[in-house]
Amino acid sequence: MKTQVCIIGGGPSGLMLSQLLHLKGIDTVVLEKHSREYVLGRIRAGVLEHGFAELMREAQCGERMDREGEIHDGFYIAHDGQLDRVDLKKYSGGSSVVVYGQTELTRDLYEARDRMQGKVIHNVEDVALHDIDGKAPYVTYRDGDEIVRIDCDYIIGADGFHGPSRKAIPRSVLKEHEKVYPFGWLGVLSRTKPVSPELIYAKHPRGFALCSLRSQVLSRYYIQVPLTDSVEDWPDAAFWAELKARLPQEVADRMETGPSIEKSIAPLRSFVAEPMRYGNLFLAGDAAHIVPPTGARGLNSAASDIYYLYHAMVDHYLNGDDTGLETYSQKALARVWKAQRFSWWMTMLMHSFPDAISYDQRLQQTDLDYLFSSDKALGSLAENYVGLPF
């Protein structure tokens, strides 16, 4: 098989790039390890920044998002028994975010790829990258007993944190920066009315909690848990009791509870791999960088990679200009690190750290006091949360 751009990974990054390039007449093949049902079964991001929403529209996939997604102009921070609102619109100079699940937008991208007869191959095994720094790169995968070869001009590694693309870059070239946090998030999805029309991020001595939503009948809640906990340690009743204990009384009192329809634990990690290009391989999204979910930046960080790659590929194929390809890594990383900084800051601000000394706790408290006493501090939070420009 032959294509111009071979994309490894059929998550939002890979599908979005494939769709955008297709619309410009550039041929792609997407290789995905899992079935479509499996990919759509993963409950992940819920908050999209303006730039991501724009990219969905440019990819001709924004119709359902614009119809069903909710525009949020603010969110709450609960602390010390009170609720303070962060007015995103006011403090960011008019921007807002869209609440629309990653599951839904991935479904929209798959449907668009189907409509345009895009090549998305599922259940591929043993994906391997070859000759990535040579003139004739290719990718192989196993389909049953058969090894299939795809010759291409470029390979995009959009295969998430555990995929093979990043690992194909020689250790002597790749520098990895990592910070692991001493806790995870236990997430629950339930068919209940959300406790608040806007998200609530709660800082509490018992640990962090987040009240989010997917729609007016579907709630998504999280609580900070030790890394040693498993889902079995948290029957629904225990989860609801702990969530309520971490929220201001008036919020806990109006919480509607019900059976969980999904429950999972995600460890929290900050990670960046540099460079994001090696030869003809370009990394994008979680394959190159991970953030803790506290600032809702993960998918949004992937969006800027895709934006830069999309324009770089279009410039290369349609205008014969390689500047975008040559500067991709540098440009993408500059924005990636800003999203890292913001996610780290929000994580440090909002969580209980098991080994925190009293000095750390007082500083954390002061950071929060400062935030709500300074329009400039709120402005910094807001402009980062709605997304820095691409």
**Distance from C-alpha of 198 to C-alpha of 193, rounded to nearest angstrom:** 12
Is 292 a binding residue for ligand RFL by CB under 6 A? The answer is no
51 DSSP assignment: H
**Distance from C-alpha of 178 to C-alpha of 176, rounded to nearest angstrom:** 6
Is 300 a binding residue for ligand RFL by CB under 6 A? The answer is yes
Candidates 19, 270, 294, 364; binder of ligand PHB (CB under 6 A) is 294
Binding piece for ligand RFL, criterion CB under 6 A, among 68-76, 226-234, 235-243, 290-298: 290-298
Binding piece for ligand PHB, criterion CB under 6 A, among 42-50, 251-259, 324-332, 362-370: 42-50
**Distance from C-alpha of 341 to C-alpha of 230, rounded to nearest angstrom:** 29
Is 10 a binding residue for ligand RFL by CB under 6 A? The answer is yes
387, interface contact from ligand RFL, ligand PHB, none, CB < 5-8 Å by kind? none
Candidates 18, 46, 199, 364; binder of ligand RFL (CB under 6 A) is 46
Candidates 296, 303, 309, 349; binder of ligand PHB (CB under 6 A) is 296
Is 47 a binding residue for ligand PHB by CB under 6 A? The answer is yes
Q: Residue 67 to residues 59, 62, 99: CA-CA distances in angstroms?
A: 16, 9, 11
- C-alpha dihedral (348, 353, 358, 362), degrees to nearest 10: 30
If the CB atoms of residues 15 and 189 are measured against ligand PHB, the closer one turns out to be 189
13, interface contact from ligand PHB, ligand RFL, none, CB < 5-8 Å by kind? ligand RFL
Is 184 a binding residue for ligand PHB by CB under 6 A? The answer is no
Is 103 a binding residue for ligand RFL by CB under 6 A? The answer is no
Q: How far is the CB of 269 from ligand RFL (least distance, A)?
A: 9
Candidates 286, 331, 333, 381; binder of ligand RFL (CB under 6 A) is 286
Q: How far is the CB of 302 from ligand RFL (least distance, A)?
A: 4
Is 12 a binding residue for ligand RFL by CB under 6 A? The answer is yes
Q: From start to end of the chain, where are the E strands? A: 5-8, 28-31, 47-49, 70-72, 74-79, 82-87, 97-99, 119-121, 125-130, 138-143, 146-151, 154-157, 175-190, 200-202, 209-215, 218-225, 260-274, 277-278, 281-283, 289-290
Other Cβ atoms closer than 10 A to 9: 27
Nearest to 300 by CA among 197, 384, 209: 384
Largest CA distance in the chain: 64
- Using CB under 6 A, list all residues that contact ligand PHB: 45-47, 199, 212, 220, 293-294, 296
